[in-house]
Amino acid sequence: MSEVATCSGALRTTLTLMGSPSFRTIGSGHCLPRERSADTPFSLAGTWPPRHGRRRSAVPISVRSARRSHELVSDAPLHLRLGSRRGGQQRGLRRRSRRIRRQRLRTDRRRTQGVREPRHRGPLQPRAARGPAQSFLPGGRVRARRLPEDPRAVRTEGREEGPVAEVVLAYCASHAPMMSSARMAAPEEQRNNFFGALDAVREEAVERGVQACVVLSNEHYTNFFLENFPQLCIGLGEKNWGPTEEWLPIDKVWVPGHAGLANHIARHTLEAGFDPAFSHQLELDHGIMTVYYELDHSMKIPLVPIVQNCAVPPLVPVRRAYEFGKALGDAIRSYSGLQRVAVIGAGGLSHWIGNPRVGDIAEDFDRWFLERLERGELDQVLDIPDDELELAGNGAHEIRSWLAVAGAVDPVRPRTLAYEPVYPWITGMAVARWDTTPDREQTSASVGAQDTRREESLP
């Protein structure tokens, strides 16, 4: 039994059996395959595609235009109904698209399916109901939803009643990729000092039961390039892939995220006057993964990644990074979906990348910067122009992550756990931790004791 497929058009069209030349043309706009089953895919080429037909006894086809003015009308699968006569004689495939109500097609598929949009379309009028909340239905209809009697009863994610989150752990660490790829290249004493500090931080994270961590780092042309380079981007996804470097000896995994906390941070920082970009699937490079892996070798702690522009001028001002950290800390402490959050800064300190001074380390600047943090003399750091900061290397711009963490836990001061100028890693490697306790008054009172211990430890 054979059927005829018809289509309209001034040029000759052909209905061909995919993968087989078994067909014959019987006229302009008509073709008749010799053998075909009801579910055999066909390809139809013509001047205008046939429109969407009934699904009963349908044959999927793909439509392309033969005119130069219509290079590609549609690639989407369409369906034509098999025509029939009384008595069982098959007469052919008939176009029935004009009988299909346009409202039954999804708005984003109308042009794909060959259905033209109406030229004049008035605004959608919702049904009479109390409150502005509306939900859109298929076909362009709108259903209005009733709001509660008290608008204050409406709750949004992250603002539910209950205890709010606290920053139970805050620290910063350098993220040189060689700390993972060339670990043994560093002198043993420097290596043990640096990783010993990271081990102490990891033990503290386990002791305090960290439920999620926010890691601030910088962009290394992994997610963005010069055609689109935001100053700030927050990862909102449920998971992120990393590390991107194939040579980095860290397992490539989907790192779990925390969309609730990330969205709350994005909303809060927007209300605070910042304009962060966002991504639902950031790719994580060594800038985040080296430090995150040292925090949790299993890489199971939910991660909220935040990347800043520390590479492409114009850079976000240093003071602006510190102020963003303040807004970040306020956002975390107003979120009720968690109780224990860690804030981590990754990057720095002095190093040069991609220029003749690669391998140099500005030890004087590194020690001066760490001392300013411990003393709480941040104004001397926040007012540094970018051209002066680059005297310590183009990688020194990454101290913006450190200053953001300092702003998130202000007025707490940090304590340097380790600093080593590791020349095989071409970076001044440091670890500093802020003593974040729930009792802020007790923390502020302990600042004087920290200064005393620091002065006693100085040579």
Q: Report yes or no: 394 and 355 within 8 Å, Cβ to Cβ.
A: yes
Query: In the prediction, which pLDDT does 179 show?
Result: 94
Within-domain flag for 404: yes
- Parent domain of 438: 166-457
Domain end among 87, 109, 131: 109
Average pLDDT estimate for 347-354: 92
Can you spell out the DSSP letters for 30-42?
EEEESS--TT--E
Give the Å distances, CA to CA, from 6 to 96, 116, 126, 166: 11, 21, 42, 69
Task: Judge if 232 and 357 occupy the same domain.
Answer: yes
Task: Judge if 78 and 201 occupy the same domain.
Answer: no
Report residue 440: phi and psi, to 5°.
-65, -35
pLDDT-based confidence at residue 130 (cuts at 50, 70, 90): very low
| pLDDT over 90 at 116, yes or no | no
Average pLDDT estimate for 205-217: 95
pLDDT-based confidence at residue 120 (cuts at 50, 70, 90): very low
Query: In the prediction, which pLDDT does 152 show?
Result: 39
Query: In the prediction, which pLDDT does 73 show?
Result: 35
CATH of the domain at 427: 3.40.830.10
Question: Count of domains in the chain?
Answer: 2
Position with higher pLDDT, 127 vs 225: 225
**318's tokens:** 């240093």
What does the alpha-carbon distance between residue 157 and residue 335 come to, in Å, rounded to a whole number?
Answer: 9
Q: Is it true that the peptide bond before 314 is cis, omega within 30 degrees of 0?
A: yes
Task: Judge if 87 and 231 occupy the same domain.
Answer: no
Within-domain flag for 30: yes
Position with higher pLDDT, 190 vs 85: 190
Within-domain flag for 145: no
Task: Judge if 331 and 230 occupy the same domain.
Answer: yes
Within-domain flag for 190: yes
What does the alpha-carbon distance between residue 311 and residue 301 come to, in Å, rounded to a whole number?
Answer: 28
355-378: pLDDT as tens digits: 889 999 999 999 999 999 999 999
Average pLDDT estimate for 98-116: 49
Query: In the prediction, which pLDDT does 437 show?
Result: 74
Q: What is the DSSP letter of 238?
A: S
380-398: pLDDT as tens digits: 999 899 999 999 999 999 9
Count of alpha carbons within 13 angstroms of residue 83, beta-carbon side: 11
Within-domain flag for 116: no
Within-domain flag for 440: yes
* Total-model pTM: 0.63
Task: Judge if 262 and 385 occupy the same domain.
Answer: yes
409-424: pLDDT as tens digits: 999 999 999 999 999 9
Average pLDDT estimate for 55-75: 37
